[in-house]
Amino acid sequence: MKIEPPGLIASEAGNRPWVLDGVKTPAGPVPRVATHWTWRERLGAMKARWRINRMQYTVAPGLYAVGRPTEASPLVSSANYKFSFDLLRRALDGLDAWILVLDTRGINVWCAAGKGTFGTEELVNRMSSTDVARVVGHATIILPQLGAPGVAAHEVKHRTGFQVSYGPVRATDLPAFLRAGRRATPAMRRVEFTLRDRLAVVPVELVRQMAPALAVTALFFLAVGLSRRGYHLATVFWPGLALAIGSSYFAGTVLTPALLPWLPGRAFALKGAEMGLATGMALWWCGGHGWVEGLSVALLCVTACSYLGLTFTGSTPYTSASGVRREIHWALPLQIVLAAAGLALWLLVRFS
């Protein structure tokens, strides 16, 4: 009998309150999962948002049941990132369905499709290993629309006999999609990235960029003591440095995503640079710096925010891997030049 282990959480083996019981199938028992979250799962989702044990927040790949599915019930697919899985099972509350979870190495559907882990090979192999053809009496599998870039539907059909049907962008629209006979409205196909969506991924970026920000802060705290008279620990300048670096960090990781649709241009590096320029000019004006030091602050703010804006491309549904590579190709050299110019002017002030 080929069937995966019944839904172990990688980081909490044996502690599976979301598994209710098992459903007997011709391929063997399949774990039936709850559609309501416990407080621990809400806490787990919150921790994942803040990148705490993010890559360990997974479920075992395999076949799961929601409600009391029969062989006629729909077969849908998801990633083994537990947050993605949880959103799907919650959306299926009140319905009977089978969920095929792919091994995406703890990555959500959209990112995994771009990386190839939510892909044709994994889908075909997972369908074979769970013997799903013996569980359902039809030959249709519903995949998330954002998983489409990683899957060749014609190859899945050729190798498994199953027709691929692409569901809506959001799991919450899945019940309506199923009720309409697997027909999606234009709104279900539209990829939105609202202010709420953008702010939801900000905590991950804040945590991810915190260590580099602290390292840069420490380096500047030490370097500010340099002068033509030698070196001394110039703690008097530390509050100003902390304000400048903290402002750039906040502008790049929070304000740039929040204001993304309204910042001119299409490139994320350009949008970040615009936010950095506004931040740098505000610091220049508030700090009462001379033009050389003010210009150095502005250039460094532009560089930092441009880089942070560029890294945010990995958190949005607006970019492709090829588009990101093209942007990196021209943006990174410019950022290096601006950073070098800003540092040169900053050191010039130290030694003047």
Strand ranges across the sheet with 140-143: 19-23, 30-33, 62-66, 97-102, 75-79, 140-143, 163-166
Whether 256 and 232 have beta carbons less than 8 Å apart is answered as: no
3-class state of residue 84 by DSSP: helix
Of 60, 9, 68, the C-alpha closest to 38 is 9
Each residue's pLDDT expressed in tens, for the chain with a length of 352 residues: 333 444 433 333 346 789 999 999 999 999 999 999 988 889 988 998 898 888 889 999 999 999 999 999 999 999 999 999 999 999 999 999 999 999 999 999 988 888 889 999 999 999 999 999 999 999 999 999 999 999 999 999 999 999 999 999 999 999 999 999 999 999 999 988 899 999 999 999 999 999 999 999 999 999 999 988 889 888 999 999 999 999 999 999 999 999 999 999 999 999 999 999 999 999 999 888 889 999 999 999 999 999 999 999 877 777 667 788 899 999 999 999 999 999 999 999 988 8
What is the pLDDT at residue 1?
Answer: 31
Rounded-to-integer distance, Cα 135 and Cα 66, Å: 14
Contacts of 213 (CB under 8 A, 6+ apart): 245, 249
Task: Report yes or no: 43 and 93 within 8 Å, Cβ to Cβ.
Answer: no
How many C-beta atoms surround the C-beta of residue 192 within 10 A?
Answer: 10
**Helix extents (H) in 186-262:** 186-189, 195-200, 202-208, 210-223, 238-250, 256-258
Compute the 3-state secondary structure of the chain and give helix, strand, coil in percent, each to the nearest 5.
55, 10, 30
Q: Residue 134's pLDDT is what?
A: 96
Domain 19-189 class, CATH top level? alpha beta
- The torsion angles phi and psi of 50, rounded to 5 degrees, stand at -95, 15
DSSP β-ladder status, 75-79 and 19-23: unpaired
CB 257 within 8 A of CB 205: yes
DSSP, res 255: I
Domain boundaries, the chain: 19-189, 195-351
In the chain, the amino acid numbered 57 is Y
**Whole-angstrom Cα distance, residue 124 to residue 113?**
14
3-state secondary structure 147-172: HHHHCCHHHHHHHHCCEEEECCCCHH
What is the pLDDT, as a whole number, of residue 288?
A: 81
Q: Which of 185, 158, 181, 160 is nearest to 170 (CA)?
A: 185
- Name the pairing type of β-strands 226-227 and 163-166: unpaired
Angle at 41 between CA 35 and CA 42, to 5 degrees: 100
Task: Please tell me the predicted confidence (pLDDT) of residue 15.
Answer: 60
Residues 6+ positions from 156 with CB-CB distance below 8 Å: 120, 123, 124, 141, 162, 164
Q: Supply the pTM of this predicted model.
A: 0.84
